[in-house]
Structure 1
Amino acid sequence: MTERLTATPTGIATAARILRDGGLVAFGTETVYGLGGDATNPTAVARIFEAKNRPRFNPLISHFASAEEAFTQVQATPLARALAERFWPGPLTLVLPRAPGSTVSDLAADGLSSLAVRVPKGDAVLALLHAVGRPVAAPSANRSGRISPSEASHVLEELDGRIDAVLDTGPCAVGLESTVLDLSSPGRPCLLRPGGVPVEALEALCGPIARPETGFDVAPLSPGRMLSHYAPSLPVRLNATSVGPQEGLLAFGPHPLPDAAVTWNLSSEGNLEEAAARLFAGLRFLDSQQQVFDLTGLAVQPIPAQGLGLAIQDRLNRAAAPRPTEPDAP
């Protein structure tokens, strides 16, 4: 059973302890209820995807108690600071380049070099984030593809028994997800998702805003849907049943394939949560061994097509996709 906590000092302290210990707690913001986990803990982040039955890994928004805390994790531009001063706390998410010392896990950022951050509005949620003292990743607290929850009872209808607790902060005032604005590249800001802050209010401060041609909430830096997406430099071969002596192996389960030059086992026990938590680190490690072992490629053992396995497969499919070719030089 999922524990229902009241938004009292005791309830907030209990929720903060659960989050610091790697558990999952849903909590209300001014937009919708978020499903929170310690963004610095890849296993906690993997549990978020598992609880939501999310079919792919998408970048998750990291929540903070203040702009100062948020800007320790990203490289804040003058425009970002101006927007934060005007709209935080509030329903605005900013996508910015990750700071070199960022502690947010690769899994929460989907391996991207950018990070989505915001400071939500509400006394209880800010008290919770302050008590946690770490970035808290929190997508909407519902099963993937379902309606976002605006009351604690909605969360329990979707996730009872799948998460540790819900902090009942009452009905959400906005009931609509935050606006997501990409500031990670030079040029005009880009609207990745409309939401609680009207675009007109943003443009009054920062000037014209670009819109993705493919529609809202599908820009590459928001859900990470580019086909070849932050792939290793080495070619990736999926569903391998054998491995060559010049291939690195991304293994899964108690029986890694023999003969690999170097191996990273996602989970020797075949645990999909552990595999998800170790996926990005494994790809980075094997890619870093290219010159050490004269690697020509990476082989990946089969991953079960169930639960988090679907999300892991989705990410590996992107890693193995054909790479964009450079245009011919003039």
Structure 2
Amino acid sequence: MVETEVLQPDAAGIARAGQILRAGGLVSFPTETVYGLGADASNDHAVARIFEAKGRPRFNPLIVHLPDVAAVARYARLEGAAERLADAFWPGPLTLVLPLREGGGLSPLVSAGLPTVAVRVPDHALARALLAAADRPVAAPSANPSGRISPTEAGHVISGLGGRIEAVLDGGPCAVGVESTIVGFDPVPVLLRPGGLPVEAIESCLGAALVHHAPDAAINAPGQLASHYAPEAPLRLNAATANPGERLLGFGPVDGAVLNLSPSGDMVEAAANLFHHLHALDAGGAAPIAVSPIPDTGLGRAINDRLRRAAAPRG
């Protein structure tokens, strides 16, 4: 057990968080998507502690967070379609899986032994200030026990990982509320995980449709485990109404919802509320959760992806 500090989003808090990362400690920090659990991505022991703290399978790769596009070139090769997407959407909720650059110095634990690395430049001023203060590449999966609901507030992090990590940099609630969209190149652009950047925007930039990662293919990016993002309570999806004993998580103008992702049917609001509402329902007891149907377009793809994994059979 360690004492988990809660750091304020000021110069002193950022400096302290950077100091902890350089010393090999774990710091949770906000991004525009969810709170990440950061460690020095060049330090084998620090990266191993991420897996230990989360109880995360070692074959599941991590995302490396960097302060700007220029920093990416030190660790990965950014060219062609990947460079076009980086120019269009970084900083932002997009992760690119790129060929590793030899001699970059990243821990092999970050890439799970693969010849590629997942990289992102977050669109969050506090996150980028921390990355600059740390002066290190920062590996950061979501700051939650593996397979559980992702955190969108500092309190969620403390609830799940308090006593296992050195600090949480409290930057308030996350604006996007679902993890980044992940795109790989094999060699054509492939959607590896839907997320906070709509697929339609990526396809418009590329002028071509994305290939979709096969559900039974080998794991080659974060967030691909069949059971993931799960509350303690079981979930039933595409529910018109709640059955007796269930609690309804609504979407749109539905009656009887305990909580509603967006009464007006706004996808941005729904994405921002998803993990927050699942945390609240989980804290309210173990009764099953029924979830209203959500259109599978735009951010709805990411919401439905998280809900399907949350409802999947658990190992």
Shorter chain as denominator, the TM-score bin is 0.5 to 0.7
Identify the residue that residue 234 of structure 1 maps to in structure 2.
none
Retained in 2: the 8 A contact 1:49–1:57? Answer: no
Once residues 156 and 223 of structure 1 are traced to their aligned partners in structure 2, the CA distance between those partners, rounded to angstroms, is 22
Map 1:71-110 to 2 at 5 A.
Answer: 71-110=73-112
Retained in 2: the 8 A contact 1:75–1:98? Answer: yes
Once residues 56 and 98 of structure 1 are traced to their aligned partners in structure 2, the CA distance between those partners, rounded to angstroms, is 18
Retained in 1: the 8 A contact 2:58–2:109? Answer: no
Retained in 2: the 8 A contact 1:219–1:225? Answer: no
Distance change in 2, residues 1:51/1:156 (3 Å): same
Shift of residue 219, structure 1, vs aligned partner: 4.7
What RMSD over aligned residues (CA atoms) do the two structures have, in Å? 1.7
Map 1:1-330 to 2 at 5 A.
Answer: 1-183=3-185, 185-186=186-187, 188-206=188-206, 207-214=208-215, 219-223=218-222
Query: Deviation string for 1:169-211 (max 9, x for gaps)?
Result: 110000100000002x32x200000000000000001121100
Query: Deviation string for 1:63-82 (max 9, x for gaps)?
Result: 00001101221111132222
Identify the residue that residue 283 of structure 2 maps to in structure 1.
none
1:222 aligned partner, one-letter code = A
Retained in 2: the 8 A contact 1:192–1:219? Answer: no
Q: Which has the larger radius of gyration?
A: 1
Give the TM-score normalised by the residue count of structure 1. 0.65
2:204 aligned partner, one-letter code = A
Identify the residue that residue 228 of structure 2 maps to in structure 1.
none
- Secondary structure, aligned partner of 1:170: coil
Identify the residue that residue 291 of structure 1 maps to in structure 2.
none
Query: Deviation string for 1:6-60 (max 9, x for gaps)?
Result: 0101100000000010000000000000000000001000000000011333110
Distance change in 2, residues 1:219/1:200 (3 Å): farther
- Secondary structure, aligned partner of 1:17: helix
Once residues 30 and 219 of structure 1 are traced to their aligned partners in structure 2, the CA distance between those partners, rounded to angstroms, is 28
5+ residue gaps, structure 1, are 227-330
Shift of residue 223, structure 1, vs aligned partner: 4.9
Retained in 1: the 8 A contact 2:81–2:189? Answer: no
Query: Deviation string for 1:110-136 (max 9, x for gaps)?
Result: 111001000001111100001111110
Retained in 2: the 8 A contact 1:63–1:70? Answer: no
Identify the residue that residue 234 of structure 2 maps to in structure 1.
none
Identify the residue that residue 290 of structure 2 maps to in structure 1.
none
Once residues 128 and 182 of structure 1 are traced to their aligned partners in structure 2, the CA distance between those partners, rounded to angstroms, is 27
Once residues 197 and 218 of structure 2 are traced to their aligned partners in structure 1, the CA distance between those partners, rounded to angstroms, is 19
Once residues 125 and 12 of structure 1 are traced to their aligned partners in structure 2, the CA distance between those partners, rounded to angstroms, is 9
Once residues 56 and 204 of structure 2 are traced to their aligned partners in structure 1, the CA distance between those partners, rounded to angstroms, is 36
Shift of residue 220, structure 1, vs aligned partner: 3.3
Once residues 62 and 164 of structure 1 are traced to their aligned partners in structure 2, the CA distance between those partners, rounded to angstroms, is 19
Once residues 6 and 178 of structure 2 are traced to their aligned partners in structure 1, the CA distance between those partners, rounded to angstroms, is 23
Distance change in 2, residues 1:151/1:224 (3 Å): closer
Once residues 157 and 110 of structure 1 are traced to their aligned partners in structure 2, the CA distance between those partners, rounded to angstroms, is 28
2:191 aligned partner, one-letter code = L
Once residues 106 and 89 of structure 2 are traced to their aligned partners in structure 1, the CA distance between those partners, rounded to angstroms, is 23
Distance change in 2, residues 1:91/1:224 (3 Å): closer
Retained in 2: the 8 A contact 1:191–1:209? Answer: yes
Distance change in 2, residues 1:103/1:224 (3 Å): farther
Once residues 220 and 35 of structure 1 are traced to their aligned partners in structure 2, the CA distance between those partners, rounded to angstroms, is 20
Query: Deviation string for 1:279-298 (max 9, x for gaps)?
Result: xxxxxxxxxxxxxxxxxxxx
Once residues 138 and 11 of structure 2 are traced to their aligned partners in structure 1, the CA distance between those partners, rounded to angstroms, is 19
Distance change in 2, residues 1:225/1:18 (3 Å): same
Distance change in 2, residues 1:143/1:224 (3 Å): closer
Identify the residue that residue 303 of structure 1 maps to in structure 2.
none
How many pairs align?
A: 222
Retained in 1: the 8 A contact 2:63–2:222? Answer: no
- Secondary structure, aligned partner of 1:107: coil
